[in-house]
Chain A
């Protein structure tokens, strides 16, 4: 199929429709408002429901209801709105329902800025809501990948009956890039015998619920969730490792900064003959700890440089993966500013003790 030029936000919305989205609920916020706008016109054309909710709280709870009814459903927002959705995400995870949440991140904290950022990494990967739950978190680095991950997010959410989040920085949402749509048909809905669709008098009632008054029952529920999360962690880590096969510098970055790190790598190679590679986690939860450990522990690697659009959040996971084996440094900017490849290259040279 031919390549088409798409704006990230609209491409992600189109990808969700192609993935079989039936019900979308959202509330406007920059830099993702093109998403509800796109759905408002195009989702009904495909037999789906678009509804602008009165708040992000209401939107995620509408998702909670629709997910319980067994349809593919999603919401999207940007950072401050995602904060409001945390209660609902915790309930959805606790009730073991599938749904997709798209966060096109902007700078924070508070109202922050409307410019791109990655300041919601902790919130996404550590859980912004209450309780021991996990959300599958996928981070695209270009518009094509954002569309591919949208389909994957729906499939994984259904497979494991848990929320899946696409964590895109504002760059991915706002820029235009070529997209090639895969030639696959919209998937048939899978059977969801647990869904609340009416008993028809033919079965006992289904209950969607996250409440367990007896501590023993709640503990058993948590153990069950934990087992599931271990299975996801064992099977669903995704990453990309690109660059020199024997790098001195290993960059670690997700989303847009991974591209900046590659550009920095070119500068370092051309000007100083320094070989680099970029390790890019695609799944932020589950995090590819083992693969990153292996990448770091190639003999050639002298230093790890983490690049983020925040003040160092994924850095914690890089440290966990590193297990103290190699020196780690960090370069990043928060609040909507973006480090240049040159600045990243300088930071990398400093990490090697070179000027």
Chain B
């Protein structure tokens, strides 16, 4: 029987197995980026910057050129690449520990300079790779290995809201928070990622898409329960939506 190919892996992804835990949504986010870069015909002119975090091996997964940064430094590395090769498309892929803790200065200043890069910011409310320690995005009361009784507001303050914070910076051209916990969210996320890369191509400025993502392993939940936990607990603290869009202001 002849079989038609109705669905296949994006040409933006290498034909290798991901190392992500079963049910982890990092993989979905990779797929969306790869599809967007192929659809925009940018994959051959793109340099991606991988973080330190669960996505550290992203350099093995995308078919574009890749550069592995030190923990939190991806926006600085991307700045160096973009300034050396201004005609290329440059993106960083960063977790919440990477971007919102150790790399806070680098992301804020990349945004301030209006660096023409796109950052995909994966918020899973913990340090996935190192085994589930507290992140700046960890929810109040959420149990993590370095706050086993739950994050206390008194001791650690409240979760940092990266999209809201960066939206105050003039150099940022587009900032949106999306989620990949259901099909509608995934479709919206892809649109947002596409818009960010298009605006980078137009030279509009810094673009960042925050993606709410699951970590079933460290949350101690099944993949499906993790999707529900994200919807019920993360979205109320990290509301989805467009936080900055300079193209809208133009209208």
A-side interface residues toward B, CB under 8 Å?
22-23, 25, 49, 51, 53-55, 57-59, 61-71, 73, 87-88, 91, 95, 196-202, 205-211
B106 at the interface (CB under 8 A from A): yes
Q: Which residues of chain A are near B69, meaning CB under 8 Å?
A: 61, 64-65, 91
B-side interface residues toward A, CB under 8 Å?
14, 43-47, 49, 56, 59-60, 62-70, 73, 76-85, 88, 105-106, 108-109
Closest 6 CB pairs of A and B: A65-B80, A61-B76, A62-B80, A196-B65, A65-B77, A66-B80
CA distance in complex: A211, B60 (Å): 11
Q: List 5 A-B contacts (CB under 8 A).
A: A58-B105, A88-B70, A197-B47, A198-B65, A211-B68
Q: Identify the closest chain B residue to A211 (Cβ).
A: B68
Contact A65 B45 (CB under 8 A): no
CA distance in complex: A25, B80 (Å): 8
Q: Which residues of chain A are near B46, meaning CB under 8 Å?
A: 198
Contact A196 B68 (CB under 8 A): no
Most B Cβ at <10 Å: residue of A49, A51, A62, A202? A62
CA distance in complex: A49, B81 (Å): 12
Contact A54 B106 (CB under 8 A): yes
Q: A69-B84, A73-B84, A205-B65 known; A62 and B47 CB under 8 Å?
A: no
Closest-CB distance, A215 to chain B (whole angstroms):
16
Q: Identify the closest chain A residue to B65 (Cβ).
A: A196
CA distance in complex: A61, B109 (Å): 13
Contact of A58 among B45, B65, B76 (CB under 8 A): B76
Closest-CB distance, A200 to chain B (whole angstroms):
5
Closest-CB distance, B186 to chain A (whole angstroms):
25
Most B Cβ at <10 Å: residue of A49, A91, A196, A207? A196
Contact A69 B68 (CB under 8 A): no
CA distance in complex: A250, B76 (Å): 47
Q: Identify the closest chain A residue to B47 (Cβ).
A: A196
Q: Which residues of chain B are near A196, meaning CB under 8 Å?
A: 47, 65-67, 81
Contact B105 A22 (CB under 8 A): no
Contact A209 B73 (CB under 8 A): no
Tally of A-B residue pairs with Cβ under 8 A?
Answer: 133
Q: A91-B70, A198-B45, A200-B45 known; A206 and B80 CB under 8 Å?
A: no
Q: A88-B73, A198-B44 known; A73 and B80 CB under 8 Å?
A: yes
Q: Which residues of chain B are near A63, meaning CB under 8 Å?
A: 80
CA distance in complex: A64, B70 (Å): 10
CA distance in complex: A65, B106 (Å): 13
Contact of B79 among A57, A65, A71, A91 (CB under 8 A): A65
CA distance in complex: A90, B88 (Å): 26
CA distance in complex: A91, B76 (Å): 13
Contact B88 A62 (CB under 8 A): no
Q: Which residues of chain B are near A62, meaning CB under 8 Å?
A: 76-77, 79-80, 83
Q: Which residues of chain B are near A54, meaning CB under 8 Å?
A: 105-106, 108-109
Contact A197 B65 (CB under 8 A): yes
CA distance in complex: A95, B80 (Å): 15
Contact B109 A69 (CB under 8 A): no
Contact A58 B106 (CB under 8 A): yes
Closest-CB distance, B75 to chain A (whole angstroms):
8
Contact of A199 among B44, B73, B84 (CB under 8 A): B44
Q: Which residues of chain A are near B60, meaning CB under 8 Å?
A: 207
Closest-CB distance, A66 to chain B (whole angstroms):
4
Contact B66 A69 (CB under 8 A): no
Contact B66 A71 (CB under 8 A): no
Closest-CB distance, A40 to chain B (whole angstroms):
14
Contact of B73 among A61, A71, A197 (CB under 8 A): A61
Closest-CB distance, A52 to chain B (whole angstroms):
10
Q: Identify the closest chain A residue to B82 (Cβ).
A: A65
Closest-CB distance, A184 to chain B (whole angstroms):
24
Q: Which residues of chain A are near B67, meaning CB under 8 Å?
A: 64-65, 68, 196, 207-209
Q: Identify the closest chain B residue to A63 (Cβ).
A: B80
Contact A208 B64 (CB under 8 A): no
CA distance in complex: A208, B67 (Å): 5
Closest-CB distance, A263 to chain B (whole angstroms):
43
CA distance in complex: A54, B108 (Å): 10
Q: Which residues of chain A are near B49, meaning CB under 8 Å?
A: 65
Q: Identify the closest chain A residue to B106 (Cβ).
A: A58
Q: Which residues of chain A are near B85, meaning CB under 8 Å?
A: 69, 197-198
Closest-CB distance, B58 to chain A (whole angstroms):
10
Contact A197 B44 (CB under 8 A): no
Q: Which residues of chain B are near A69, meaning CB under 8 Å?
A: 47, 80-81, 84-85
Closest-CB distance, A252 to chain B (whole angstroms):
37
Q: Identify the closest chain A residue to B102 (Cβ).
A: A57
Contact B76 A207 (CB under 8 A): no
Q: Identify the closest chain A residue to B50 (Cβ).
A: A209
Q: Which residues of chain A are near B84, meaning CB under 8 Å?
A: 22-23, 49, 65-66, 69-71, 73
Q: A49-B84, A206-B65 known; A201 and B44 CB under 8 Å?
A: yes
CA distance in complex: A319, B47 (Å): 48
CA distance in complex: A299, B61 (Å): 64
Q: Which residues of chain B are near A25, meaning CB under 8 Å?
A: 80
Closest-CB distance, A70 to chain B (whole angstroms):
7
Q: Identify the closest chain B residue to A22 (Cβ).
A: B84
Contact of B83 among A58, A66, A199 (CB under 8 A): A66
Q: Which residues of chain B are near A207, meaning CB under 8 Å?
A: 59-60, 65-68
Q: Identify the closest chain B residue to A199 (Cβ).
A: B44
CA distance in complex: A67, B76 (Å): 12
CA distance in complex: A65, B73 (Å): 10
Contact A209 B78 (CB under 8 A): no
Q: Identify the closest chain B residue to A87 (Cβ).
A: B70
